[in-house]
Structure 1
Amino acid sequence: MNEDIRALLIRTGGWLSAADRAVYERLVREWAEAVRAGDRTTAPAVAAAV
C-alpha cells in the first residue's frame, strides 16, 4: 500500500488528476483502516510520502 501511494505521487509529480485523486483517496482509506486495525508498520512510510 505504501509503495502504491509513493509511486502514484512520484508518477504524477504531486499533481493528481480526478482519476488519480480517486486512487489516492482509496489508498489512504485502506492505509487508515490498516492503522486502526493495528498494522502500525504502514504509518511511517505513508506519512513520509505525503
Structure 2
Amino acid sequence: MGRQLQRFFEDHKGLERKSVIVHELLGPAEARRATMDAIRLYQKRSAMR
C-alpha cells in the first residue's frame, strides 16, 4: 500500500507539472497531528481576515 500512495502523489503532482519527493510514509498518528496542525493554521489565518 505504501508504494501505491507514493506513486499516487508523484503522479498527481506530475500532472500539475510539479515535482514531489516522498521520503517515507508515516503512520496514522502523524497524519492526525499534521491534519490538526493544518486546521489550526487555517483557523488562525481565517481569523486574521
TM-score, with normalisation over the residues of structure 1? 0.45
TM-score, with normalisation over the residues of structure 2? 0.46
Question: Bigger relative contact order, structure 1 or 2, given CA contacts below 8 A and separation 6+?
Answer: 1
